[in-house]
Homo-oligomer: A and B are copies of this chain.
Amino acid sequence: MNQATAIDTPAFAHVTAAIATPFRGADLSVDLELLERHAHWLLGNGCDGLVLFGTTGEAASLSLAERTAMLERLLTSGIEPRRVLVGTSACAIAEVVELTRRCAELGCAGALIMPPFFFKGVTVDGALSFYAEVFARCGAKLPPIYLYHIPQISGVAVGPELVGRLLERFGAKIRGYKDSSGEWTNTAEIRARFPQLETFVGSEALLLANLRAGGAGCISASVNVQPGATRRLYEEWRSGEADALQEAVARLRKTLEHSGPLIASTKAAVAALHHEPAWAIPRPPLVALAPGERTALVAGSRPRGRLP
């Protein structure tokens, strides 16, 4: 792939936040109001796409009914469906199918799907039969499919062999690939072997490498708090400033990673950004950063002007 191809690729988006989910302190219910405000803030400040119900969105901790209500609320509030990629993963096929069909009915950009994540030692044949079953049951209500590779959490890889067999069998139904493994060599192999896929890295710290390899962009937790800086990097990636811009966004990412588990530190940073303490609360089994960690996080990111 030459560099021009990246820009010419009609990817659904390039700077994409894996949007976090706000919960009320009192009963841990989803705060749809805060969610809506943050989603609009992201799209108004550098993002051109949102992933709902990714790992950062604590999708696993949300019921199907909650996910549907959140999606519908955002679309009703005026967010264009073509800006929204919907995580529809679940362990039970019936649940994946229900949300994936809903995603197609609503005209969303696509469904982001990882293989079922309870069983370990899942074979390529087994993962393939899972996707085949989902696609068959969705029938005509099948949105563009984005494959989700995050083996360090899900325990089940979506590696090059599986991708190749899915493309062989389902062709253009498979539209993209999100690589949250953090292993650039895997992303590079996917880019090289399957240039037709919109390829996203899971961290803006790898955005420049991905764009240089012809990839589409990033879908990232930390973009929740630095959509603008990530946008600048995307816009300037072929300029002489690219490396410095890349280094700057990677720095805040590292601060978040070193402040605690990434989801908790991202939520604490969003809470600081919007002055809404409730944003810092995750659902069990995740825990919020301790007050001391939170203070250190905000202080650590302030000198570089990344958080208010």
Which A residues form the contact surface with B (CB < 8 A)?
Answer: 28, 55, 60-63, 66, 91-95, 115-123, 125-127, 129-130, 132-133, 152-156, 261, 283-287
How many angstroms from the CA of A153 to the CA of B91 in the assembled complex?
13
How many angstroms from the CA of A129 to the CA of B91 in the assembled complex?
23
Structural contact, A118 and B284, CB atoms closer than 8 A: no
Contact A61:B116 (CB < 8 A) given known A133-B28, A155-B155, A261-B121: yes
Contact A285:B60 (CB < 8 A) given known A133-B28, A155-B155, A261-B121: no
How many angstroms from the CA of A154 to the CA of B117 in the assembled complex?
9
Cβ-defined partner of A287 (8 Å) among B91, B95, B115, B126: B126
Residues of B within 8 A of A119 (CB): 60, 153, 285-286
Q: How many copies does the complex hold?
A: 2
A263 to chain B, nearest CB (A): 8
How many angstroms from the CA of A132 to the CA of B286 in the assembled complex?
13
A221 to chain B, nearest CB (A): 13
A193 to chain B, nearest CB (A): 23
A202 to chain B, nearest CB (A): 15
Structural contact, A284 and B92, CB atoms closer than 8 A: no
Closest 5 pairs between A and B when the two form their complex, measured CB to CB: A60-B118, A130-B284, A126-B285, A60-B91, A129-B284
Cβ-defined partner of A154 (8 Å) among B94, B118, B130, B156: B118
Residues of B within 8 A of A93 (CB): 28, 61, 283-284
5 additional A-B pairs beyond A63-B92, A122-B286, A127-B284, beta carbons within 8 Å, are A28-B133, A66-B92, A115-B285, A116-B284, A118-B153
Residues of B within 8 A of A66 (CB): 92, 94
A139 to chain B, nearest CB (A): 14
Contact A120:B285 (CB < 8 A) given known A60-B91, A60-B92, A62-B92: no
Structural contact, A286 and B63, CB atoms closer than 8 A: no
A57 to chain B, nearest CB (A): 12
A12 to chain B, nearest CB (A): 25
Structural contact, B152 and A120, CB atoms closer than 8 A: yes
Structural contact, B61 and A129, CB atoms closer than 8 A: no
Structural contact, B130 and A63, CB atoms closer than 8 A: no
CB closest residue in chain B, given A114 = B118
